Amino acid sequence: MTSGQESVDSFEESALYDSPNEFLPGAADTRDGCIAQSVLPQEDGTYLCACACGRWEAIALDRWQGLALARAHTASS
């Protein structure tokens, strides 16, 4: 096996590679944890931001602001 193949194999074992069907049930089972955040486009052009912990929700003007708000939330919890 080449080192490039080892790299691919390591990536495939990563949690970041999980499909939504594998990740979402785990996130739903975690109560009070900041395990997942969402930044969802709204009809008016804003983005609704929320966290799985249920204690945080915000409106962002763009996706990048929403991601920054989500990062700030997880850093503070």
Please tell me the predicted confidence (pLDDT) of residue 27.
55
CB atoms inside a 10 Å sphere around CB 36: 17
Residues 73 and 36 in one domain: yes
Residues 48 and 17 in one domain: no
Query: Over its length of 77 residues, how does the chain's per-residue pLDDT go in tens digits?
Result: 455 555 444 444 444 444 555 555 655 555 668 888 999 999 999 999 999 889 999 999 999 999 999 999 999 87
Q: Give the structural domain span for 15.
A: 1-30
Please tell me the predicted confidence (pLDDT) of residue 67.
94
CB-side neighbour CA atoms (13 Å) of 7: 3
Residues 72 and 40 in one domain: yes
Please tell me the predicted confidence (pLDDT) of residue 13.
47
Radius of gyration in angstroms for the set of CA atoms belonging to the chain, rounded to a whole number: 16
Total domain count, the chain: 2
Residue 41's nearest CA partner among 72, 65, 21 is 65
Please tell me the predicted confidence (pLDDT) of residue 19.
54
Residues 51 and 77 in one domain: yes
Please tell me the predicted confidence (pLDDT) of residue 15.
45
